[in-house]
Amino acid sequence: MFLGCHVSVAGGLNNAFERAENVGCEAFQIFTQNQRQWKSTILTQEQKDGFRIMRKNSAFSLVPLTAHASYLINLCAQEDEKLSRSRQALIEELQRCDTLGLEYLVLHPGSHGGKGETWGIETISQSIMSVFSVYKPKVRLLLETIAGQGTGVGFRFEELSTILTQVAQPNAMGVCVDTCHIFAAGYDIRSGWDSVLNQMDNAFGLDSIKVFHLNDSIKPLGSRRDRHAPIGQGMIGAKSFKILMQETLFRKIPGILEVPGGDDVFAENIKWLKSKRDLAYRL
């Protein structure tokens, strides 16, 4: 697994590379604009070219890089205006990722607001198909597993599988597995991964997994509460992450930390994960 974390682009997109290197990243994730505002950022040609050149000359030239979509996007919003706005925002996210040459865009599928999971799944699928009919991206859109708070869609693997099946564009889509989220959703990964990997494989196929978000959980199993913790400081525990680092199926995909505590914690967690991964690969 290419290990890294979410890094800030404050002061300019190019700053992400130095920040990532400083904490020991092998891959990283960014927001391509402010994740809590609708207004779309228009990247200049200088910004686009600068990012690509910086990447080409960095340690990240040959590994997949990831962006995370705005938290405001809800592809099954009940309100027509918000749904339309969400679809347009996703088009713009995909376009920015393509201009920067990023490989993956991670998206929270959406929240149905009480209209039911079936309606939510169908509306999300229709939204993605609508977006793809307007813009065919090079970046791969990844649906993130969620914790299941409120009326969110995607806390059961079968929900993501149904969306992927309905959209029926496997080369354009995939899955991002968040360890905190699946644990909060009720998937027990504390003592091993075999059972949960089998469930994923049966639902959407392990080859659909393109990114992991590596986060421990403050809240207990099945809480359906999304509260991240540094590795080994939550209810999942270090053992689960050690086992995951030994899984050779995921050797060439990014594992991105989104834990609280700042750069020192990122660096410490990345170093620890690398040690477990590298030890397993040498044996």
- Output the pLDDT for position 283: 54
Quick check: is 92 in a domain? Answer: yes
Secondary structure in 3-state letters for 35-102: CCCCCCCCCCHHHHHHHHHHHHCCCCCCCCCEEECCCCCCCCCCCHHHHHHHHHHHHHHHHHHHHHCC
Q: Is residue 218 part of a domain?
A: yes
- Catalytic residue list contains 36: yes
- The count of domains in the chain is 1
pLDDT tens digits along 214-235: 999 999 999 999 999 999 999 9
Q: Which of 108, 112, 140, 277 is catalytic?
A: 108
Establish if 40 belongs to a structural domain: no
Catalytic hit among 92, 144, 159, 216: 144
Q: Tell me if residue 181 is catalytic.
A: yes
Instruction: Give the pLDDT mean for 125-151.
Output: 97
The catalytic position among 98, 188, 201, 258 is: 258
Q: How large is the average pLDDT for residues 228-248? A: 97
Report, as an integer, the average pLDDT of 46-66: 96
Which domain, by its residues, includes 67?
2-33+47-282
Report pLDDT for 275.
Answer: 96
- CATH number of the domain within which 180 lies: 3.20.20.150
Q: Give the model's pLDDT for residue 282.
A: 67
Tell me if 39 is assigned to some domain.
no
